[in-house]
Chains A and B, each alone.
Chain A
């Protein structure tokens, strides 16, 4: 095993998939010579040439639409949209075409397209460049949306996404790119993930914290902090937002009796609302306290560093919510021995 960054895992996996399958190609703005705004495609133009690593005009709807056409004819394009914010310019192609072609063409043509795109605030990129709008895509039948939180998961999930015959929105996060984790030395040894399965990344008994992408990582940190106080928090990393693994969520809450959702989007109508509804449908009788949600302040994200930090969900705000939820259960918690 080697310790690699999330960025490196993505890059190495893209390369491995391109070596494995001649039909895998990359398209997007600034991905060739510039090697991607976040350097995920580093060295790939040099290695595979412009036939398979294609810099496109600055036109998101254009290159996503073109990639859909390429995918319909059997190629496996992996499109990079510089940030998920720019995917709004391609919304019609993604929602009305990528997601619907298979059904509306009566199963005659599938769209094995991957759209890789990072969300996430915290980089002082301002309100129009710092949103988390994965919800828009998680809402759409016909799309799959995955949101891995570690290098190993990113690698396994990207392999699965590229090999999947349906369009997959692959959500990355700017704050995760430099985070590290273990990955097999030989990238070929990474098994493709099963899209649609959540993972219990920290087993626990007192409370369930449910997160995805960056917030799954924050949840794990918080679980560590709580463990030091003798509180056993279970962390569920959703990994996939559509399909959503309701079974794992419900099973965990039935074990712990209470839950907090940690999401990086806005609270009202957000991903957490769906999770909370899932919990009450499947574990209502097991709940000792209402489900709490921790999310971004419901404002366009400020550009000033201090204000941005204040608006984002953090380990601090998650910890506060966990304590409040535990207090609301009325349980007398055993102190750490």
Chain B
């Protein structure tokens, strides 16, 4: 089978291999790319490996908690760890992230407590982290809308007049292949382009929009669309954490120095279901999943570390044990999260006091009190 979805015409399978930036092969072989030089010390590679393993473990725990009825739903990042950690570790202090609901790995890179993510999907709060503090916006559930928010934020940075200075930040908007069909995503491309906004569009092309394959959204490789809007587009091996890091770094730096937007298509694969309510066996072939397993984002880093004698078995065991311990703590903390108070539903509707909310809250309090009276 071909893993590429280049389509010159319906039914044309296109080239056998996608035209993508790769710095680490699936076998763990380091390769160079003239446009993306990358120097990484052993410590840095080991840290990336630790990130990848940790976020996969967090994700696994969240899926298990959902299966056990402890979370309402979960959107798994399985298979997309490198795209998220690579791009996430490219971010600087002043950069701002606009994620979808699947960016748990990027959240990890921004130091958002994973318990907050579990709390959100458990329904005890709506995220509960301060976007400004972490440079990480709250999850957007509607497909693609955040690309316009990110563009507006980027235009704000531009108006601050900081581009090209050390305090310059860029924005990065995450979205998937399905979102590229949405009107607002296309409008964000237009705005970012004509205003030369400091933004990176980071599309994780995981090949599937629930059940719809890439062919339902595009006939050309997604990164080539950028040309039509007037800014550079690049396709990167989304399962290669080195390449994702290098390509995102360069794009963010371009944005921070006033060179405008970049579209990055991280070519990857959604190894799991769309969310825990979905069953991909209904619409895709096992063989496709098996082929992508061979390109696993974590295994190739492990192979690289082993091959270069940069880590021993004690290191791998320690990372595994730490991730496991963290998952155990996370599970316990998740189960201990208190249920929200019923009257809290009226609390965050308006930022200012609102007479209708006060009235409804009082009415509802009286309604609840009537049950207590009745049970006395």
Whether A59 touches B183, Cβ cut-off 8 Å, given contacts A126-B141, A129-B141, A303-B126, is yes
* Residues in chain A near residue B184, CB distance under 8 A: 89
Q: A305-B123, A310-B342 are in contact. List 8 more A-B contacts (CB 8 A).
A: A29-B212, A57-B212, A58-B179, A58-B217, A59-B181, A299-B357, A307-B123, A317-B367
Once the chains bind, are B346 and A299 in contact (CB under 8 Å)?
A: yes
Once the chains bind, are B342 and A34 in contact (CB under 8 Å)?
A: no
Whether A57 touches B181, Cβ cut-off 8 Å, given contacts A33-B283, A34-B282, A128-B142, is yes
* Residues in chain B near residue A297, CB distance under 8 A: 345-346, 360, 364
Once the chains bind, are B340 and A304 in contact (CB under 8 Å)?
A: yes
* Residues in chain B near residue A55, CB distance under 8 A: 212, 216
Is B211 part of the contact surface with A, judged by Cβ < 8 Å?
A: yes
Is A124 part of the contact surface with B, judged by Cβ < 8 Å?
A: yes
Is A122 part of the contact surface with B, judged by Cβ < 8 Å?
A: no
Once the chains bind, are A307 and B183 in contact (CB under 8 Å)?
A: no
Minimum CB–CB distance for A316 against chain B, Å: 9
* Residues in chain A near residue B345, CB distance under 8 A: 297, 299, 302, 307, 310-311
* Residues in chain B near residue A126, CB distance under 8 A: 141
Is A201 part of the contact surface with B, judged by Cβ < 8 Å?
A: no
Instruction: Tell me what chain A mostly uses at the interface: helix, strand, loop, or mixed.
Output: loop
* Alpha-carbon distance A321/B283, docked complex (angstroms): 47
* Residues in chain A near residue B210, CB distance under 8 A: 30, 34, 37
* Residues in chain A near residue B349, CB distance under 8 A: 298-300
Instruction: Name 11 interchain pairs, CB-CB below 8 A, sorted by A.
Output: A30-B211, A34-B282, A56-B216, A58-B179, A58-B209, A58-B212, A89-B182, A126-B141, A128-B142, A300-B349, A302-B345
Interface centre among A268, A307, A317 (most CB of B within 10 A): A307
* Alpha-carbon distance A297/B343, docked complex (angstroms): 11
Minimum CB–CB distance for A310 against chain B, Å: 5
Minimum CB–CB distance for A318 against chain B, Å: 13
* Alpha-carbon distance A29/B143, docked complex (angstroms): 13
Chain A residues proximal to chain B, CB less than 8 Å: 29-30, 33-34, 37, 55-59, 61-62, 85, 89, 124, 126, 128-129, 268, 297-300, 302-307, 310-311, 317, 320
* Residues in chain A near residue B346, CB distance under 8 A: 297, 299
Contact with A along B211-242 (1 / 0, CB 8 A): 11000110000000000000000000000000
* Residues in chain A near residue B282, CB distance under 8 A: 33-34
Contact with A along B352-365 (1 / 0, CB 8 A): 00001100100010
Whether A307 touches B283, Cβ cut-off 8 Å, given contacts A29-B212, A30-B211, A268-B356, is no
* Residues in chain B near residue A306, CB distance under 8 A: 339-340, 342
* Alpha-carbon distance A302/B348, docked complex (angstroms): 11
The 6 residue pairs across chains A and B that have the minimum distance between CB atoms = A304-B123, A34-B211, A57-B181, A58-B178, A59-B181, A303-B123
* Alpha-carbon distance A13/B179, docked complex (angstroms): 32
Minimum CB–CB distance for A40 against chain B, Å: 15
Whether A304 touches B356, Cβ cut-off 8 Å, given contacts A34-B211, A89-B183, A297-B346, is no
Which A-chain residue is minimally distant from B141 (CB atoms)?
A128
Is B272 part of the contact surface with A, judged by Cβ < 8 Å?
A: no
* Alpha-carbon distance A126/B120, docked complex (angstroms): 10
Minimum CB–CB distance for B58 against chain A, Å: 20
Minimum CB–CB distance for A178 against chain B, Å: 15
Is B14 part of the contact surface with A, judged by Cβ < 8 Å?
A: no
* Residues in chain A near residue B179, CB distance under 8 A: 58
Once the chains bind, are A57 and B183 in contact (CB under 8 Å)?
A: no
Once the chains bind, are B344 and A307 in contact (CB under 8 Å)?
A: yes
* Residues in chain B near residue A30, CB distance under 8 A: 210-212
* Alpha-carbon distance A50/B323, docked complex (angstroms): 47
